[in-house]
Amino acid sequence: MSTVELAAGPIDYLDTGGSGPVVVLSHGFPMNHLQWRKVIPLLDDLRCIAPTFPLGAHRTAMRRGTDLSQRGQAMIVADFLDALDLRDVTLVMNDWGGPQFFVAFGRDERVGRLVFAACEAFDNFPPPPARPPAALARVPGGAWLLAQAMRTRLLRHGSKGYGAMCHARIPEDVLDSWFDPAVRDAGVRADMRAFATGAPPRRVALDWSEALRGFERPALVVWARDDLMMPGDHGRRLAEILPNATLVEIEESRTLIPEDRPDEFAAVLREFVLGSAPGP
């Protein structure tokens, strides 16, 4: 793992290196780069970069006063691309859809392609199943209670927790890496709370989504047929408003397509990147 210092604080990231097209793989809440552990080995002709953004599974708390709302997090993604001087990036979103907002903020100049993979969109910030934890985080001491709940089997594997996000059973050591930072570090819990309570009002989110109509570079929308978090029509709506979009629907998968269908997702992503990348 490498680390880059941003104005917000340190961001850890995995970088496979190489001269292939750059793919930046963002993650969900509260997850980290291990969300992509099954997919990255299948993309050995691409340079894959998997950061851990401050969504609650990061190892070091951000600097005090950092904006960790949806808007602030989108700006952190853009700052990360700047700091590594990455260009013509394929930016992939799965679960968390916030990085798309930097299109509305005019910070998408380093992005050559966008991939929306079963992620938040339109007014689905956060999805209905995630709203009770977000409400808990608003209560004094709620972030601590939420972090403790992440240690329970019910939240880790139950139908009301992460078990609803994929058909596959996520290994305990992966879940530990996602949940332990907030359990042990009050600063990380504060960051998690700031993000969990930082969704924009519905009208604002819809206004920001409208900016995608001006993103004329290639876009790929990959939607899961069995998704319990992201409405099925959102994939189709994204493909309609993005001027240069392709829609692919994945069978036998829920939100975490990289868990349920890594081979199929990697094949679709690789074809999209190499098929739309500029020639030598």
CA–CA separation, 75 vs 208, rounded Å? 14
The arithmetic mean of pLDDT across residues 160-182, rounded, is: 91
**pLDDT over threshold 80, residue 279:** no
**pLDDT over threshold 70, residue 138:** yes
CATH number at residue 177: 3.40.50.1820
**pLDDT over threshold 70, residue 278:** no
- The CB-based long-range contact list for 98-101 (8 Å cut-off, 24+ gap) reads 98/70, 98/73, 98/74, 98/125, 99/26, 99/73, 99/74, 100/74, 100/208, 100/209, 100/212, 101/70, 101/71, 101/74, 101/208
User: With contact defined as beta carbons under 8 Å apart, do 156 and 175 qualify?
Assistant: yes
Number of compact structural domains in the chain: 1
For residue 160, the model assigns a pLDDT of 75
Average pLDDT, the chain: 93
**pLDDT over threshold 60, residue 245:** yes
**pLDDT over threshold 80, residue 192:** yes
Q: What is the pTM of this model?
A: 0.93
For residue 148, the model assigns a pLDDT of 83
The arithmetic mean of pLDDT across residues 75-81, rounded, is: 98
Domain that holds residue 16: 2-276
For residue 143, the model assigns a pLDDT of 81
Reported as a pLDDT band with limits 50, 70 and 90, residue 208 is very high
User: With contact defined as beta carbons under 8 Å apart, do 225 and 252 qualify?
Assistant: yes
The arithmetic mean of pLDDT across residues 81-97, rounded, is: 97
Q: Lowest mean pLDDT: which of 16-20, 70-74, 220-224, 260-264?
A: 16-20
CA–CA separation, 183 vs 269, rounded Å? 34
Reported as a pLDDT band with limits 50, 70 and 90, residue 273 is very high
Provide the pairing of β-strand 22-25 with 245-250: unpaired
Reported as a pLDDT band with limits 50, 70 and 90, residue 50 is very high
CA–CA separation, 175 vs 8, rounded Å? 25
For residue 175, the model assigns a pLDDT of 94
CA–CA separation, 151 vs 164, rounded Å? 16
**pLDDT over threshold 80, residue 154:** no
For residue 72, the model assigns a pLDDT of 97
For residue 277, the model assigns a pLDDT of 60
The arithmetic mean of pLDDT across residues 101-129, rounded, is: 95
Reported as a pLDDT band with limits 50, 70 and 90, residue 217 is very high
